[in-house]
Structure 1
Amino acid sequence: MASRPVVQQQNRGVEGVPGGIKQKNMAAEGRNRRALGDIGNMVTVRGAEGKQQQLPQVSRPLTRGFCAQLLANAQAAAADKNKKPIAVNVGGVAANQAAKVPRKQPAQKKVTVKPKPEAVIVISPDTEEEVEVKEKKSRRKAAAEDSSRKTYTATLTARSKIQDIDAGDLYNELAVVEYVEDIYKFYKEAENESRVRDYMDSQPEINVKMRAILVDWLIEVHHKFELTSETLYLTINIIDRYLAARTTSKRELQLVGISAMLIASKYEEIWAPEVNDFVCISDRAYTHQQVLEMEKRILGELEWYLTVPTLYVFLIRFIKAAAIPAAADPAMENMVYFLAELGMMNYPTMVMYCPSMIAASAVYVARCTLHKTPAWNETLKLHTGYSEAQLMDCAKLLVTCHFEAAAGQKLQVIYRKYSNPQKGGVAELPPAKFLLAPPAP
């Protein structure tokens, strides 16, 4: 209990006496110096007798590489501080002086280029012949290159005359521009499979005139029912293929016609006519059951093969090629269809020529009738596959059909149809008689 106040007084005396504060500050100062001494490698330790001893200073051997490294570090620091150079002393030697020590560079070897020995050419009679042969070969090569260049130029010139008929349908998905050339190439190969052969000799009760009357009447029925053009051309194709495969009596010929149109309507139309419509249009010459039985007979004979390249599929492509580069030409289109229907009704034309040639000839005769120049060009030749000379015989038959229709024969349905102002009255135009003239000697 008596020692407690003494301790407090001693504590207060230390804090109150100025000497106590000085000792405290000196102690702190001693610790700071010791820390600075550590940084400068001046650390001291107490000896055995209590005396302070200085540690030996660690020295690093000054090498040329080390001096260069120090100099690079000092220059980098100086660049950061306003690009002021800083001199660094290492072991009493300035770093910049150490950097000035020249390095020995390896001696560069001199490269000597030896001149190539000049070849001495000795001209002998044999070598003169070889030189002449080489010169001839070079002349032939130059001539071949010149001829190939001329051929290439001629090809480019010919191609420049061909118009791209599908350029306006690039964004029309229904035009299938990417595949249209392949599609028509397939049509040209497949049209011979469904081509009609001459069957009149195998039909004892049917002749060419009866067939023409049937086709003329079916064109009128087609017009009254307002069916599509595809239906008409497929109907005639079905009739001819059936008659070529099976003998038919005179009484059943009209039944074959309306049954074939019923099949084509079901194949092509969205809203096909009913069986009763065909019974009524035939003035009830046949019953409902007879039409269905004939429909079944025709499909069985044709083996349900209805997807065929008819005349119509070639007409739409060739008309498109004929209307280039001009826009839509209604007179041209109506004239082509007029001539095509005349050719379809004419039995010799249908038997002698394939559908693509009849379509191309109809386009050619239409251009001649409308005085289009030139009558045949490279674009039409490319897309039809026929030259003007190849079409001349078929074209003459079509011109003859046009001339006979205008002369006022009994079968006038096609002529009246295309004499209508809605069709441009193209049937009333004078036929291209100059095509019937014999060629000049």
Structure 2
Amino acid sequence: MRLVQLTIPTGKRETILSILDEREIDYVMTDETGSRSYTGVTYFPLPDPAVEPVLDEIQDAGIDDDAYTVVVDAETVVSRRFQALRDEYENGDVGSDRISRQELQAEADGLTPSFPVYVVMTVISAVVATAGLLLDSPAVVVGSMVIAPLIGPALGASVGTVIDDEDMFVESVTYQFIGVVVAIVAAAVFALVVRSLNIVPPDLVLSSVGEISERLAPDLLSLAIALGAGVAGVVSIATGTAVALVGVMIAAALIPPAGVAGIAIAWGQPTSAIGATVLVLVNLLSVNLAGLVTLWYAGYRPENLFSLGETEQRLRKRIAGLVVIVLVFAVFLGGITYASYESGNFEQDARDEIEGVLSQSQYEDYQLLEFEVVMDDDYPFRNPERVIVTIGGPPGASAPALADTLYERINDHADGSVAVEVRYVQVSERGTG
């Protein structure tokens, strides 16, 4: 529910009050004596979906931007006529639950901080995320998402497009581009300082840190996360619910991958930063794509209906462009996913071969103790580099041909040559009595 406060310009009192009367809207009227430009101020409650059509009709009646309108939340309205308005405008779908176009524009503006604050908060968020990644601490990484100021620019571009506010669109796109660059640079600088001061082990292997390795080689599931964040972000801002929490989800799709990209650069592994950088870009574009589609589906249109055709054409072009770019990145992520799938198959096939060899009669005294597939560091498309097999056998026994047999059997399932390291451990069993 909303309470609308509207100043009435001189000569427009009867026109505005007749609109409210025709729609059977309860209102209160007070005279305005402080300005000759206005004759009064009227207050009237409206259901959320009624705000936009009522304000549009009033504006069409000649209320220009010089007259100010204030829309605030109303906790409770007790009125038969108000209940009739709710029955008229609310039908239970997304369109009836959304806030007005005017409120949406104000909400998007309010979520975007000033440029200096935006840059400072982005730097802080990136630094905190980088520290959390190096510490392998999910809690710290989540904390970095809370302070990231990304939801405003991420959704502002979509809002600006559907309501035909090109200034908002350009500003939001600029903020997003600068935010990504600033986050990666801040993460790289901080990680370089941390490494130079030996705050972390100098021989730290990035792939051994869980929070980092999972973002060095992202898969197609990351695309689903970004699309979900975009839809949830738009629905939250359009309905005025849980915007801050959804902002954390959008930041989760952008800040940690940017931190990983910066860490990889600081570690002198630019190729390792490719996967994380692609993840940042595909997430950012997916959020924008989901936002555009969701806002248009929710029924938002430009204020000037004469520009509707031009806005629709611009929307289609932007959606088509985003779809093409996202699909290109999706193919890249699909390649990573397929490589991971192949590596998983290789690991299972290699284990089956080892167990099959050891089940033969000449190796019945041996058993598989440990099995590990070591991947190379060619991110984001990693391949098996070495297989380590630990076999237990009786004291004094030897099986010189076993290593050669395992090498041949395992490499039958590899695209290239994979080193096989066989370790023997003596196992003695003693009875108890």
Structure possessing the higher relative contact order (Cα contacts under 8 Å, 6 or more residues apart)? 2
TM-score tier (shorter):
under 0.3
**Structure with greater strand percent:** 2
Structure-2-length-normalised TM-score: 0.23
Larger Cα-atom Rg? 1
